[in-house]
Structures are given as C-alpha cells and as structure tokens.
Amino acid sequence: MSFLTDPINAIADWLESLLLSLGLTSQAVTILMTLLGAIVVGSFGLMLVIFLIWVERKVYARIQDRLGPNRVGPWGILQTFPDMIKIFTKEYITPIGADKVPYNLAPILSVSAVLLAWAVIPFASTVVGSDINVGVLYIVAVGAIGTLGIILAGWSSNNKYALLGAFRTVAQMVSYEVPMVLALLIPVLLARSMGVNSIVQSQQVWYILLAPIAAFFFFITSIAETGRAPFDLLEAESEIIAGYQTEYSGLKFGMFFVGEFLHAFTISALTVTLFLGGWRGPWSEQVPLLGTAYFFIKTFIVYFIVLWVRISLPRLRIDQMLNFNWKFLTPIALVMLMATAVLEKILSTWLPTLRLTDSGVILIRTITHLGLNVLVAAGVIYLLRSYTIRREKVGQPRPLAVAPEPPASVLE
Amino acid sequence: MIPLSWYLIFAAALFSIGLFGVLSRRNAIAILMGVELMLNAVNINLIAFWRYRAVEQIAGQAFAIMVFAVAAAEVAVGLALVISVYRRQNTIIAKEIDMLKW
Amino acid sequence: MALSQIIFLVIAAATLVAALLVVISRNLVHSALWLIATLFGVAIFYGFLSAGFFAVAQVVIYIGAIAILFIFSVMLTRRLMQDNSPQINRGWPLALLLAILFFGGVLGMYNTWPEFAAMAPEMAAEANPLEQLGLALVSPNAYVLPFELASILLVAAMIGAIYLAWEKK
C-alpha cells in the first residue's frame, strides 16, 4: 500500500536496503543515494523540456488561431524529437579569438543554474531533494549563477553586439533581482522560516490570499529574470540579432534554449510552491502521490499563464523596463515588506490575548493581510492617478464632407 | 575530524596570496581583487573560530555579516572611483595615476 | 585519512590554486573568472563549517553581485579588446618576500597557541544558528547597532557609487 501512496520513498527505501545488503558502508550508501537522486531530478527536468516545448508551440498556435505542429505523431506530440535531431547535427562554429573555456562553459552554467533550483522544491510532503533551512536564499543564489553564465557568453564571443546584449541582459537581471528578493521575503516572514518545505507546510491558507501583491510581483520579476516576453528585448531577433547567444550554434545554442524553457517552468514551480500552496490539497498529507499530482496541475496552470502573458503583451524597451523596476516595483515591494512585518508583529502580540480557535486565528490573519494588500494597492492607484495625462476636448469633430439635404421636391 | 589548524592555515595562505596581489599588480582593479581575497580570508577565520571555540555565542557570525556588508560597500565605491578615474585620465594603471591635476 | 579530510584538502588546494591564478593572470577577465572560482571555494568552506546561511549569502553577494561588478568594470575600462601586457609591476620580488614572511609569521604565532589543533565541538542538535543570528541582529542588547550602521554604510556607498560613476554631460 505504501508503494501506491508514496512510490518515490518506497523505491528509495528498497534501493537503500539492497545496497546495504551488498556490503557497502552506510556512508557510501548515503552518497550513492544522494547522487542517484540528483541524477533523477536533473534528468526529469531535462526530459520535461521536451514536453514543454510542444506545449508552448501548441498553445501559441491556438491563441494565434492557427493549428501548430500536427504532423509528427498525434497532435504533433513528437515534434520536438525532429527538432532535437536537427540541433544535435548542426556544426559548432567557434568564432576566431573567442576565449575557449568561458565560451564552452557559459551554456553549461546557464542550464545548471536552472537545474540546481530543482533541488529545493518539494514535490510532496516527503519528497524533497534537499531540505536546507535557507532554501529561499539558495534559489536567489542559483539565479545569480545564471546571470554569470550570460555575461561569460557575451564576453567570450569576441563580438561587440554579443557583449552589448550581455550587458543589457545582466543589467535587467540584476535590477529585477531586487524586487524579487523583497517579494520573496514576504512568504518567509509569514511562514517564519526560510526553508521551502516549511513554507509549504505552513500554508493553511494559500499565501496568494495573504499577500497577493507579493505573489504578483514575484511572478512579474521572475518572468523578467527569465528574459521572456514582454521583457525579451535582449534576444528579440529584430533588435540585436540574438543578443548574447549570437555566436552559438548547434547544441550549445540548444542548451541556452533548453535553459530558458526550463527556467520558465521552474519559476512557475516556485510561484506555486511559495504562494499557491505547493503540494497542498485535500488528502495530500496521507497520500503523497496526490500531493505531487496537485503540484504539477498547479504548476501547469501557472505555466499556461506565463505563456499567455508572453503571447499577448508587446515588448518593453530597455528604459521602460528599468523605469518600471526601479520606480514602481522596488518602492512598492519595500512598502509591502515593512507593512507586512508591522502587521505580523501586531497580530502576534494581539491575537493570543483573544483566545480564538485555530480557524478563527487563520481567518483573522487572512482578512487583515488581504485588507492591507488592498489598502496598499488602492493607495498606489490613487497616487498614480495624479500622473495621468489629461486630455481635454478642444471641440466637436467637424465633418468635412457632408452630402447636402435633398430638396423637398425630390423627397416627395 | 578536521582540526582548527587546517582552516587557519588555509585562511592565512589565502590572505598572503591576496597581499601579494595587492602589492604587485599594476592595474587598480586587480588590486581591488586582492583586497577581496584578503577579506574572504578574514571571514573564513572568523567563522572557523566561531565554530570551533564559541558555537553558542553569536558574535562570530554577527561580525562576519558586518565584514560581508563592508566588503560589498567598499568594492562598489572602489570600482566607481576606478571608472571615474578612467574617464578622466584614460588609464587605470596605478603607477600612472600620480598627479592630482595638470 | 577520513573522507571529509580528503575532500577538505582537495577543495583547499583547488581554491588556493585559483587564488594564485587571480594574482598572476595576464588577462584581467581571466583574473575575474578565477576570482569567481575562489569565492565559490570559500562558499564551500562555509558549508563545511556548518554556516549554511553564509555559504548561500556568499554566492548571492560575492558571486552574484561583486564578481559581476568586477567583470563589468574590467570590460568598461579596457583600451583594447585583448590586452596582454604584463600585469606585475617592478616591485614584485619584495611583495613575494613580504607575503611569505607574513604567512610564516602568522603560522609561527599560531604554533605558540596550545589549542591550535583543536577539534570541532559538537553542535547541539536543536541549535539553529540562522535563528540565533536573526535574533541577534535585531535585539537591542545584541548587535542591532552595528546592523543599523552597516545599513547606513551601504546606503552611503550606494549613493556615493552612483554619484561617482555618473556621466556628467
């Protein structure tokens, strides 16, 4: 029965007993199991990209009122395999004067930065790669490693345009890290812990109801971190050819591509874990497999929203992007963090004196936090109203050519 | 398993390498890189002493956080200065930045 | 030798080699990349010392921000695309002597200390250094004053850096 409810842990226990019976020391068994776990999670992430590319192309196509790939396999599911074969067989053209080691290291760093983030995401209540107690900060750290890969790519290509593209990309990514970290701190504050599994376990009410502004900001800044539309000035073909990826061909470019798709899925997974309750749902503690199912359903819904945003919104210019970040997102994120902290302190000193039931405490907490978010949003909208461009009506539009009234004799 | 001496020797070696870098490089940015190495060595020393001698107190960790903050601030200002000097004198070789004005 | 000791020695050797390459490389961008490797090694050492928060903070602050600052400033202050002029100035034998003397002096001073080769004490199982650190940084009879001063320092550094690097048209 435990195999049906918790297959991953059951397989792990069986494997561990098998290895111990083969005579390895327990230290070696731990190392082997951890290594195996890492390989499984990494391969799973990369295999998922095959499916994600198909999902993206189909969703794009349907939103744009066309069919999308439908030749290779039923509904075009196997379309990614021919694409993969095409990319594998392309020639690697290394530009003259390129620095060999950073040039080859950059796509590896790009993909590994995304895969490393999968180590702390809990798939079920008992299935998590590595339950460190600074999980949230770890996620920020691996985002920083991705930025490093980009700058290596841009510099080592020995190409002015790639370098400029890399500069702009890194400027955007480093700028958008600030509101992202501030928005990430709000679930940490609400859950009193930085460990990702602890944050999921303390979400009796989903944090999107307690902190909608923080969820919204985290979502937007993560999309900007990935470099997807509407923030994709840096790799738009009409603007700067391919930005920092210009000089990459074949599988090296494929690695950047895979990294970007996996990053989009990873930020959906992170949003779900931190704000939408992760693996929580009815009966998910007793049956961890159900928790994993909930997690993936929620993640695919959020991924669909990411695709939807990409296909619908026009591209932002670089100065609009940076203005949006520094003049809108960062101040509001700071205000939200301070206000949430003050409210939490007030609640924690005042609520125990009321002696309510557990669900009463949760209800009061939800209502107060939601009220605070609505208040801040209303205040922001009120402040922004004073910046609208006023348009005055100068006069009624005058028709230029109007047919004259036919004389009464003709109308008879 | 790992005695304190190994960490301290490693930190001293890192500090000496940083010292060599500061004293022997021409480029101002390379000098700042040497300073970063020295600050990291100091941090390792602090955390090693915290872990091995005073785990219950928190002074070691608090001090290390201060060193992190100061190092970040110093690098930011130092590099801004270097870029500003480069704009004026078009050089960042420390030996050539030797006149206040001409 | 236990496995942890072997791993420690390997990573220590790798980090010191990377640090040496930082101060010896002719190409400044290579120096910056070796600096990133060194900082990563230092982060691994923080992990060994059960200071997980510091390991992750090291990656975020040093590698994610300071190293990128270094790479940017190297690229913005170059006169040529490939600059391979010698990077060591004329006084380097004296600098080498001074570094070796310093290392020897510090080691000699450590040797006179009886607890030099002490082993790590056990940390209590429910000790939570992260929570202790958080509480210590904001409690008035602990370290709130240095914490606030560090924030003021960072704000001043931020404003100063922006002003200094501003292009005055």
CATH topology of domain C1-88: Four Helix Bundle (Hemerythrin (Met), subunit A) (1.20.120)
Burial class (CB in 10 A: 0-12, 13-18, 19+), C97: exposed
The model's pLDDT over A214-258, given as tens digits with 9 standing for 90+, comes to: 999 999 999 988 877 777 766 665 455 566 767 777 888 888 888
- Give me chain A's average pLDDT, please: 84
Mean pLDDT of A119-145: 86
pLDDT at A179: 93
Residue labelled with tokens 């080769």:
C117
A133 contacts chain C (CB < 8 A)? yes
C157 with B73: CB under 8 angstroms?
yes
Mean pLDDT of A283-298: 85
Report in angstroms the alpha-carbon separations of C17 from A15, A255, B21, C32, C47: 39, 30, 13, 14, 20
**Nearest Cβ partner of B83 from C5, C77, C133?**
C77
pLDDT at A30: 81
Report the alpha-carbon distance of residue C144 to residue C149 in Å, rounded.
Answer: 9
Say if the Cβ atoms of B52 and C121 lie within 8 Å: yes
Mean pLDDT of A391-395: 68
pLDDT at C145 over 60: yes
Report the alpha-carbon distance of residue A237 to residue A249 in Å, rounded.
Answer: 15
pLDDT at C20: 93
pLDDT at C39: 95
pLDDT band at A204 (very low <50, low <70, confident <90, very high): confident
Other Cβ atoms within 10 Å of A411 Cβ, number: 7
Does the CA dihedral A103-C18-C56-A164 come out positive or negative? negative
pLDDT at B21: 92
- Give me chain C's average pLDDT, please: 85
Distance from CA of C90 to the nearest CA of A (A): 28
Which of the two residues, A177 and A288, has the higher pLDDT score?
A177
Give the residue among A335, A347, A373 at the shortest CA–CA distance from A215: A373
pLDDT band at A299 (very low <50, low <70, confident <90, very high): very high
B38 contacts chain C (CB < 8 A)? no
pLDDT at A398: 73
pLDDT band at C101 (very low <50, low <70, confident <90, very high): very high
Least confident piece of the model among A68-82, A171-185, A230-244, A269-283: A230-244
Residues contacting residue A166 through CB under 8 Å, at least 6 positions apart: A150, A151, A153, A154, A155, A243, A244
Least confident piece of the model among A246-260, B1-15, B17-31, C46-60: A246-260
B74 contacts chain C (CB < 8 A)? yes
Least confident piece of the model among A19-33, A287-301, A330-344, C41-55: A19-33
A197 with A185: CB under 8 angstroms?
no
Residues of B in contact with C35 (CB under 8 A): 33, 36-37
Say if the Cβ atoms of A134 and C33 lie within 8 Å: no
A372 with A340: CB under 8 angstroms?
yes
pLDDT at A334: 94
pLDDT at C36 over 90: yes
Q: What is the pTM of this model?
A: 0.88
Share of chain A above pLDDT 90, in %: 21
pLDDT at A87 over 60: yes
pLDDT at A281 over 90: no
pLDDT at A355: 75
pLDDT at C82 over 70: no
Mean pLDDT of B35-57: 90
Q: How far apart are the first and last CA of chain C?
A: 64
pLDDT at B1 over 90: no
pLDDT at A320 over 70: yes
pLDDT at C110: 87
pLDDT band at A131 (very low <50, low <70, confident <90, very high): confident
Burial class (CB in 10 A: 0-12, 13-18, 19+), A387: exposed
Report the alpha-carbon distance of residue B39 to residue B67 in Å, rounded.
Answer: 7
pLDDT at A166 over 60: yes
Expressed as residue numbers, the domain containing A212 is 92-390
pLDDT at B24 over 60: yes
Mean pLDDT of A342-354: 86
Report the alpha-carbon distance of residue A183 to residue A93 in Å, rounded.
Answer: 41
Report the alpha-carbon distance of residue B66 to residue B50 in Å, rounded.
Answer: 14
- Give me chain B's average pLDDT, please: 88
Chains in touch with B (≥3 Cβ pairs < 8 A)? C
pLDDT at C72 over 90: no
Residue labelled with tokens 């599994």:
A197
Report the alpha-carbon distance of residue A241 to residue A251 in Å, rounded.
Answer: 18
Q: Which DSSP letter does residue A119 get?
A: G
A81 located within any domain: no
Least confident piece of the model among A65-79, A365-379, C78-92, C129-143: C78-92
Instruction: Looking at C25-139, list the stretches that DSSP marks H as alpha helix, in order from N- to C-terminal side.
Output: 28-48, 52-58, 67-76, 92-111, 129-138
pLDDT band at C66 (very low <50, low <70, confident <90, very high): very high
Burial class (CB in 10 A: 0-12, 13-18, 19+), A85: exposed
pLDDT at C75: 82
A178 contacts chain C (CB < 8 A)? no
A238 located within any domain: yes
Residues 36-55 of C with CB under 8 A from A: 36, 52-53
* Displacement of CA A146 from its chain's centroid (Å): 14
pLDDT at A97: 75
Residues of A in contact with C75 (CB under 8 A): 155, 163, 167
pLDDT at B100: 73
Give the residue among A339, A219, A352 at the shortest CA–CA distance from A273: A219
Mean pLDDT of A189-202: 89
Does the CA dihedral A257-A263-A264-A266 come out positive or negative? positive
A244 located within any domain: yes
Say if the Cβ atoms of A27 and C3 lie within 8 Å: yes
Q: How many domains does chain A have?
A: 1
Mean pLDDT of C1-10: 85
pLDDT at A241: 57
Mean pLDDT of A248-275: 88
Chains in touch with A (≥3 Cβ pairs < 8 A)? C
pLDDT at C126 over 80: no
Share of chain C above pLDDT 90, in %: 40
Share of chain A above pLDDT 70, in %: 93
Residues of B in contact with C118 (CB under 8 A): 3-4, 52-53
A223 located within any domain: yes
